[in-house]
Structure 1
Amino acid sequence: MSSINVMDLELKRAFTEMQVNKIETTKKLKMFELQTEMLKTSKKKYEITDKEVSNLTPDTRVYSSVGRMFVLSSLPEIHDEIISKQGKCDEILKSLDDKREFLLKTSKEQEESLRELVQQRKEARSN
């Protein structure tokens, strides 16, 4: 009789742990989704800015933002800066996607291990 209670407590603990992990995973996934949307928006802004800058004549004076001030720059420098920022956005987006995939994978593994535990308990009770 006491071994059944111990098994029930173990199952209850496993379910509670999975529930807590599921809540944390859901929060992290939402955070990753928000960050991804912000980065996609930034990348789109950089694309639009680059398109507009490329339409300027070579003798146009352009300024880049440095902190609170603006510095006179050349069109190629502005273009390179925009391309660099787009590249950083792509890297961060890839990193976030990898983290999201890892979270989903670990969550599924945890669910599967809990299913196996429940199945073992059912088999143990039937024997």
Structure 2
Amino acid sequence: MSISNEALQKLVQEIETQAIQSQQQISMVRSQIGIKTREIRKLELTSKEVSELPSDTNVYEGVGKMFVFSPTAEIDKRLTGEASELKSDIKNLEKRLQYLETTHKNSQSHIDQIFKSGGRS
């Protein structure tokens, strides 16, 4: 049984579109992972600096256009919480990245398979 040229062309276009979309999403997810990794590093460095301060040091956080006094323990706790949230986000993004890479790989293999078979089923 042979597939018509029109149907074959339409099928290849759909698979190519899916492959292109997957590739775009892969680069976007990788970018998001990089941004979140840099943010984690920034939070860890800030936490390290705050933890090295004496406990009686006045520390102020920027809130909009003003600064609010916050105890060092509270700031360190907030920074640690934000870092753990970002790590969780990165895990989820890595799972999505793996899924997208698999989708892209499958799309490419389907295209190769179609061309190798020459449109025959």
TM-score tier after normalising by the smaller chain length: 0.7 to 0.9
Question: Whose RCO is larger (CA < 8 A, sep 6+)?
Answer: 2
CA distance in 2, matches of 1:108, 1:68: 49
Q: 1:77 aligns with which of 74, 79, 90?
A: 74
The structure where helix makes up a greater share of residues is: 1
CA RMSD of aligned residues (A): 2.2
CA contact (8 A) 1:14 1:114 kept: no
Percent of aligned pairs with the same residue?
25
Q: Which amino acid aligns with 1:28?
A: Q
String of CA shifts for 1:37-76, please: whole Å, max 9, x gaps.
1111111111111111111011100112333322111111
What TM-score comes out, normalization by structure 1 length?
0.81
The answer to whether the Cα contact below 8 Å between 2:16 and 2:111 also exists between their aligned partners in 1 is no
Q: TM-score, normalised by structure 2?
A: 0.84
- Residues 12-58 of structure 1, C-alpha deviation per residue, up to 9 Å, x if partnerless? 11211121112111111111111111111111111111111111011
Unaligned runs of at least 5 residues, structure 1:
none
Select the structure of larger CA radius of gyration: 1
Partner of 2:33: 36
